[in-house]
Chains A and B, each alone.
Chain A
Amino acid sequence: MATIEIKNVDFGYDEDHIVLHNINLDIREPGLYCVIGPNGVGKSTLAKCVSKIVNPLNGEVLINGRNIKDMTHREVSEIVGYVPAFSQDVFSMSVVDTIMIGRHNHRRWGSKKKDMEVVYKAMKIMRIRGLADRKYNELSAGQHQKVSIARGLVQETDILILDEPTANLDVKFQVYVMELLRGVAEKLGIIILTICHDLNVTAKYSHKVIMLERPGKIFAFGTPEEVLTSDNIEKVYGIKCRVIDEGEHHVPLIILGEPIMNDAIDGI
């Protein structure tokens, strides 16, 4: 079973501009974990620290008990999959080939039938089977997003990190993708860490919520009912809201009110 331990992590692009301050996090259970917080609070940076895309200034990140500082990129990538928020594909391959790139760690000399099976299954569950032969650059932003998620799924890692997986998706697919990620995490017993902006989607589908506040600190970590309270949302986001206990699963339903224009909260 995969684990993520983040101990006293500070991160900044230089010493004068610290993005993350003394982050401590212990994830030992499989499930869907949503990272939420205002713009520029360090959500993506936290995800990149766990994937060894950037290295913390201080503190340590342990994956399955091993400090990623002592692991190669390759070793980390065999455990942690990462889907960035924006794809930078300049030259277009077919959708199949683009997703097949996610199998890089599983194949050495060309793709095998097994790789194609995994890619096909990812296209099937992301509902993009019909796009298989299309060029990636011909697709819409939402279709790009589905291809990127499929590319993350085919990595078959014990930890999967997705930066804003529902960006550019229509409402149906926002719900579908979040349900799917929750289902995959439960079925395969893996940790899926996503960065989200929609509080209601987060409330409904995440097992645990990590709420970040300015300047790059963890404000709360717990179940959606524990974290997504009107007080917490007002303090962290600067917006008034009502939270209703909804349905048989007692999912918090957040009804947003008026914004509070506050320089400290907005980081100005």
Chain B
Amino acid sequence: MISKDVRDSVDSWTEDISDDELFSDTYTRYERSKKIKIIAIIGLVILAFVLAIYSIQSGPLAGDMMDTVRILWEYITGTVDRDDSTVHWTLYATWPVLGALVGGAGLAICGVIMQSVLRNPMADPYTTGISSGASFGAAIAIASGSMLVTYPSLTVVMAFIFSLIPVLIIMFISKMTNASPITIIMTGIGIMYIFNALTSIIRLIAGGTAMSALDNWLMGDVQLVQEADLPPMLVLTVLGIVLSMFLASRINVLSTGDENAKAMGINADRLRIVCLVITAVVSAGIISFTGLIGFVGLVCPHIVRMFIGADNKYLLPASAALGSALMVVAHLVGKMALAPTLVPVGIIMSCVGGPVFIWLVISRNKSTW
């Protein structure tokens, strides 16, 4: 019934192959590819920090690069002299750059997680309605703040609260209907349109100064980031990276399909919800401080996948590092392009991200998607 060749194949299943040369060769190549990915990640992290320092020292009245490094070191060790004008201007230029560094990493990992768990290359905080929810929250805060009391942090709080609403709706629908990833994306898009319409209504009603303030927020700019904003942004982003790295193996399995995931012992629906909550909190935490910044979450994961593949254990940290680097560059370009006018990061990212995304789609490699 079973031929000799097949019998030999079956027998090889229980054989010891530790001395097999072809196996050693395969194993060596596998380990080498892992090391190359780790080196690429470290390289991207170093690049992001070098770009950040360059961006800080390219600010108005700041010192040279070594001065910048020294001032930042003194700031970290608590020995910085804040009365010094160079220190003052260096630190003034530092907060937006650090905002870009942290925000870029956070938004990029949100894109990676959403695309993997929803198995959709178009998934990001926009297509799941999170950004639109945040816009609506900010719109209410800015409109009421300008008309009633001046309370800047209300914008952040409202943007954060309202950005979580789309996820709560998605969670509710998922629980009720065992929604598929496609249903979740389509629900997110529906919510996006609703919140966008509501934001437009508020914009129309508010008018004048409030409309202008809201437009500024909607353009998305790390220039809004202050020293006090960085700790919550950093905590949320680091928490997001740590949690997603912890779940990376499970996200890999989930990205191969719900049936596969369940068959591999993973509660697919629960993991997807956990991941959506993580991304909602991280992206809401960032967007509420920076305003709307698109394309980082959407494009970074695709660029990284082209070079190091779709394994989330490497994709997550590499995308975080690339997201940081891109946001820092966008901020730098925004400072220099129309100086002395500062062009918001959100506009630069969209101007550059749009063509890059179209190029990716046109030249997309079958093996990447």
Tally of contact residues, B, Cβ under 8 A? 52
Which B residues are in CB contact (< 8 Å) with A102?
A: 264
| Interface bin, chain A | 35 or more
Are B259 and A187 closer than 8 Å at their CB atoms?
Answer: no
Are A94 and B309 closer than 8 Å at their CB atoms?
Answer: yes
Smallest CB gap from A86: residue in B: B257
Stretch at the interface among A35-43, A57-65, A113-121, A234-242: A113-121
Encoded as 1 (CB less than 8 Å from any A CB) or 0, chain B from 307 to 339 comes to 001110100000000000000000000000000
Which B residues are in CB contact (< 8 Å) with A74?
A: 265-266
B35 CB to nearest chain A CB (Å): 13
Are A90 and B2 closer than 8 Å at their CB atoms?
Answer: no
Which B residues are in CB contact (< 8 Å) with A246?
A: none
Which A residues are in CB contact (< 8 Å) with B193?
A: none
Query: Does chain B have a CB within 8 A of A220?
Result: no
Measured in the bound complex, the distance between the Cα atoms of B249 and A233 in whole Å is: 45
Are A101 and B17 closer than 8 Å at their CB atoms?
Answer: no
Query: Does chain B have a CB within 8 A of A258?
Result: no
Stretch at the interface among A17-25, A76-84, A209-217: A76-84
Which B residues are in CB contact (< 8 Å) with A104?
A: 249-250, 252-253, 264-266
Query: Does chain A have a CB within 8 A of B77?
Result: no
Are A73 and B262 closer than 8 Å at their CB atoms?
Answer: yes
Measured in the bound complex, the distance between the Cα atoms of B263 and A74 in whole Å is: 8
B305 CB to nearest chain A CB (Å): 6
Query: Does chain A have a CB within 8 A of B1?
Result: yes
Measured in the bound complex, the distance between the Cα atoms of B76 and A127 in whole Å is: 57
Are B22 and A53 closer than 8 Å at their CB atoms?
Answer: no
Are A116 and B26 closer than 8 Å at their CB atoms?
Answer: yes
Stretch at the interface among A2-10, A129-137, A194-202, A259-267: A129-137
Query: Does chain A have a CB within 8 A of B255?
Result: yes
Query: Does chain A have a CB within 8 A of B11?
Result: yes
Measured in the bound complex, the distance between the Cα atoms of B265 and A102 in whole Å is: 11
Given contacts A93-B309, A96-B30, A179-B3, contact A101 B12 (CB under 8 A): no
Given contacts A73-B262, A82-B263, A121-B17, contact A92 B367 (CB under 8 A): yes
Which A residues are in CB contact (< 8 Å) with B252?
A: 93, 101, 104
- The prevalent SS among residues of A at the interface is helix
Which A residues are in CB contact (< 8 Å) with B132?
A: none
Given contacts A73-B267, A205-B1, contact A90 B10 (CB under 8 A): no
Binding site for A on B (CB under 8 A): 1-3, 6-7, 9-15, 17-18, 20, 22-23, 26-27, 29-30, 33, 115-116, 119-121, 249-250, 252-253, 255-260, 262-267, 305, 309-311, 313, 366-369
Binding site for B on A (CB under 8 A): 48, 51-53, 72-78, 80-84, 87-94, 96-98, 101-102, 104-105, 107, 110, 113, 116-117, 120-121, 124-125, 129, 132-133, 135, 137-138, 153, 155, 176, 179-180, 182-184, 186-188, 204-205, 249
Question: Can you offer 19 A-B residue contacts whose CB atoms are under 8 A?
Answer: A48-B259, A76-B265, A83-B263, A89-B257, A91-B119, A91-B121, A91-B305, A91-B368, A91-B369, A92-B368, A93-B309, A104-B253, A116-B27, A120-B17, A121-B12, A155-B264, A179-B1, A179-B2, A180-B10
